[in-house]
Structure 1
Amino acid sequence: MLLSGCSGRHNWLSSAGEEAQTIEPLFWTVVAGAALIWTLVVGAAVFAHRAEAKPHREQQARRFIIWGGAVLPTVVVGALLIWGLFILRDLVADEGDLTVRVDGERWWWRVIYETPEGEVFTANEIRMPLGKTTLFRLTADDVIHSFWVPAMGGKMDMIPGRETKLTLTPTKLGSWGGLCAEYCGGAHALMRFDAVVMEPEAFDAWLQNESSPARITEGDPGWEVFLDEGCGACHTLRGTEAVGQVGPDLTHLASRERLGAGIYDMTPENMARWITDLDAMKPDIDMPAYPYLSGDRLDALVSFLMSLK
C-alpha cells in the first residue's frame, strides 16, 4: 500500500530529469542517516531505561555530550549542507538550450518562450524538448509562489520584484505534473500545470504553431459572443482586437491538455461549466462567472474556444 504512492505524474521518485537524478542520492542519504540516528537514539533510551543504574564519571558524560551532541551533528549537517549547495549550483545555471520565462500569478502561470524570432506567449502548460536543458527565469506578479516539477528536479521560489533561475533537463517522454509549492492563498492547491516532454522535432513544430496568430473563421458566432461579453478585455487572441493582459493568453487554448491551470481535462463539457459555474470549479480567482449564458450562445462560445488550436 505504501509503494502504491510511488507512482503518478507528480511523483518525485520517477526521476524523469537529470536534476532529479542529481537530487535523489542526497534524499536517500538523508533518509538512511535519519533512520540510523533514530535507531541509535531509541536504542540508547531503551538501554538506559532497562539498564541497572550506575554512577558515571563527569568527564565521560561531558565527552558524550560534546562529541555526540555537538561535534557529530555539526559535521554531519555541515557535510549535507555543502553537498546540497553543490547540487543547487547545478540547478541554477545561467544558460540552457532553451529559455522560458514563467510568471506566477494567483492562481495561474504566464509562460513566455524566448526564441530568436521573438517571444511566444502561452499559459498553464510548459513543453520541453527531450534531452535539452531548459533555463527557467522565474518571477511572481503578486505574492511568493514556488515552481516545482517533482519528477524532474527541485523547486524554486518565485518572488515579486526578483528573478530566480532553475534548469530542467528531461530524460523521459510524457506529461508530468507541476505545481506551486508555496502557499499563496485560497486556490493554492488548484495552481498546477502540465510539463510535457516531447521529441525535439515535435517540440519545434509545436513551438512554431504556438507562435502563429489565432485562427478565427469570419462570421463565427462564438467569436461574436466572445467580443460581446468583453472577454478580450482580459484575454489575448494574437492577431485580433482581443489584447487583454489580465488573464491567460487564449490564442491556442484548446491545444493545451488541461483547463484551469492543470486541473480539468480540456473538454467541451468542462469548458461550458468553466464559463457558467466558475466559482464552484476554482474559488477565489478574479475571473467572473457567466451563469446567464446558455443555449445557442453558450454552445457557440464553447465551440469557438475549443477551436483555438
Structure 2
Amino acid sequence: MRTKTFPAAVLAPALLGACNRHQSTLAPFGEDAADIRSIAIVLLVGAVVIAVGMAALMRAAVRAPEGRMTHQGGMKMVLWLGGIIPSILLFGLLVWSLPAMRPREVAPADLRVGVEGEQFWWRIRYAPQGGTVVESANELRLPVGRTVSLALSSTDVIHSFWVPGLAGKMDMIPGRTNRLVVRATKAGRYRGVCAEFCGLSHALMAFDVIAMEPAAFDRWLAGERTPAPDSPGARQFADAGCAACHAIRGTAAAGKIGPDLTHFGSRTTLAAGVLPMTRANIAGFIRDPGKTKPGVRMPAFPQISPAEADGIAAYLQGLK
C-alpha cells in the first residue's frame, strides 16, 4: 500500500503548486508570459508525441519476428527518424518561436521604472516622461496595455527579478543595468519573487505586482507624488532614529538606506511580501526585524518599548 501511495504523495505537491493564479506561468497576465506558455505547451505536446512514437516503435521491434528488417531498411529508418524528420521539426519550431524572441520596442513616451534588488527587499522608482521621479518599495504597479521598460540593477549581490505571470526571469547584477520590457494585459494583483539565491532571507524576498487600468494608474501615480501629511507621529518616528535610514516626503526624514515610506500604509504587505500589513506586525518588525527575516540589514530596536513601537506603527499605517 505504501509503495502505491508514494508516487502520488510526491507528485501531488508539485501539481498543486501550479494551481494558484497570482504566481504562475500557467496564468499569464503579460504578453511575454503568454508567449512563453504557448511555446512550452507546443514543446510539451511535441515531447509527448515523440515519446509515444518511440514507445510504439519499441513495442513493434520487440514483437517483430527475427530477420524481418534488413540492414538497408534499418539504415533508412535511422536516417529518417534520427536525422531528417527531427531536423525538419526543430527548424519549424525555431521559425515559429523567433517572433517571440524579438525585443519589444520602447517609445520615448513609455514609462520607465527602475527596480533595485537589495538584501532583502526591492527599491522601485517610477520615471514617467516629463514627470517627477516617484520612489516606492516592494510593490510594482503597471498600467494595463502600456509598454513599460524596467531597468533592473542590484546594490549588493546578484538577485533575479521574476514575475511568472508577466515575463521571464532576468538577473540583477551589481554594476550592471539589465532592461526588461513588459506589457501587462489583465488587471489584478500578482506576485513576483527573487529567483537567485542571495542570502539567508532569499525565500522571503517577494513583492506585489498590481496591474491597473491606465486611468487608475495615472491617478495613483499622481497621488504618489503628494507628500505625506503632517502628523505628531513624525516626531516620534524621528526620535526613534528611523529617519536615519528611511525617507518620508513632506517630513524631515530623508534617509536613503532603507525603503521610502511616504505612502507605506497603502501597501498590502510588510517586509517584502512576507507579512500582512497590520499594526501588530509593523510594531514587531520595528523591534526585531531579524526574527521575521534572518540576515536583514535593518537593525533591531529592542530599546523601543512595545507602546512606542505601536505608536510608530500606527503612524506608518496611516501614511496612505
TM-score by length of 1: 0.87
Q: Does 1:291 align with 2:302?
A: yes
Residue 45 of structure 2: aligned partner: 32
Residue 94 of structure 1: aligned partner: 106
1:243 and 1:102 mapped to 2: Cα distance?
20
Residue 58 of structure 1: CA displacement?
5.0
Q: Does 1:113 align with 2:126?
A: yes
2:131 and 2:313 mapped to 1: Cα distance?
32
> Deviations for 1:181-222, whole angstroms, at most 9, x for unmatched residues?
2332322221111111222222112111211222231xx2x4
1:43 and 1:280 mapped to 2: Cα distance?
57
1:77 and 1:180 mapped to 2: Cα distance?
32
1:145 and 1:46 mapped to 2: Cα distance?
48
Alignment of 1:224-243 (within 5 A): 224-243=235-254
Residue 3 of structure 1: CA displacement?
7.0
**Can you give the 5+ residue segments of structure 2 that lack an aligned partner in the other structure?**
1-11
- Change in Cα spacing, 1:62 to 1:244, as seen in structure 2 (3 Å) is farther
Residue 77 of structure 1: CA displacement?
4.0
Structure 1 residues 175-184 or 159-168, which shifts more? Answer: 159-168
Q: Confirm or deny: 8 A CA contact 1:17 1:171 kept in the other structure.
A: yes
Residue 201 of structure 1: aligned partner: 215
Residue 30 of structure 2: aligned partner: 17
Q: Does 1:192 align with 2:203?
A: no
1:74 and 1:80 mapped to 2: Cα distance?
10
1:290 and 1:47 mapped to 2: Cα distance?
73
**Can you give the 5+ residue segments of structure 1 that lack an aligned partner in the other structure?**
none
Alignment of 1:1-150 (within 5 A): 2=15, 5-54=18-67, 58-90=71-103, 92-95=104-107, 97-115=110-128, 116-150=130-164
Aligned pair count reads 305
- Change in Cα spacing, 1:79 to 1:234, as seen in structure 2 (3 Å) is farther
Residue 74 of structure 1: CA displacement?
4.5
Structure 1 residues 253-262 or 180-189, which shifts more? Answer: 180-189
> Deviations for 1:235-256, whole angstroms, at most 9, x for unmatched residues?
1122333222221111111111
Residue 252 of structure 1: aligned partner: 263
Structure 1 residues 167-176 or 17-26, which shifts more? Answer: 17-26
- Change in Cα spacing, 1:171 to 1:275, as seen in structure 2 (3 Å) is same
TM-score by length of 2: 0.84
1:72 and 1:286 mapped to 2: Cα distance?
56
- Secondary structure of 1:196's counterpart equals strand
Q: Confirm or deny: 8 A CA contact 1:93 1:166 kept in the other structure.
A: no
1:94 and 1:78 mapped to 2: Cα distance?
30
> Deviations for 1:135-171, whole angstroms, at most 9, x for unmatched residues?
2122222333222222223232323332222222222
- Secondary structure of 1:288's counterpart equals coil
Q: Confirm or deny: 8 A CA contact 1:190 1:263 kept in the other structure.
A: yes
- Secondary structure of 2:133's counterpart equals strand
Q: Does 1:213 align with 2:227?
A: yes
Aligned amino acid, residue 93 of structure 1: E
Structure 1 residues 196-205 or 68-77, which shifts more? Answer: 68-77
Residue 73 of structure 1: CA displacement?
4.2
